[in-house]
Amino acid sequence: MLHTVNKSPFDSHSLQTCLGLAKAGSDILLIEDAVYAAMSGTAMTSLIESAMSSSTIYVLEPDLRARGIGSEKMISGINLVGYDGFVELAVTNDKVQSWL
């Protein structure tokens, strides 16, 4: 399943709820304000790094750029995708859950 999360983990429980319910092997795409979860050295970094051991984490690049998050600030190993990659993730997974 592809899970999309759009809220900052510092503001909302959506990401934690998603990670608690997503099965191993899921694709998790951070969009909109959720891209802040991809930053290294934050209180959420270990949560993301732990999720990366069982699922694949993606971040929507236009949302990162809009928020001025450069690659030097990001957790290593997170995959960057554009909207074309977002579509590809939706195609290759059998369904999408949008965690609002």
Judged by the rule CB under 8 A, the positions of this chain that interact with another protein are: 1, 4, 6-7, 13-14, 17, 20-23, 31-33, 62, 82-84, 86-88, 90-92, 94-100
Q: Closer CB to another protein, residue 17 or residue 40?
A: 17
Residues facing 29 on adjacent strands: 4, 58
What CA–CA distances, in Å, run from 88 to 36, 66, 95?
A: 22, 22, 12
* Least spacing, CB of residue 52 vs another protein, in Å: 18
Q: How far is the first Cα of the chain from the last one, in angstroms, to the nearest whole number?
A: 16
Q: Closer CB to another protein, residue 77 or residue 82?
A: 82
Instruction: Determine the length of the chain.
Output: 100
Q: Closer CB to another protein, residue 20 or residue 41?
A: 20
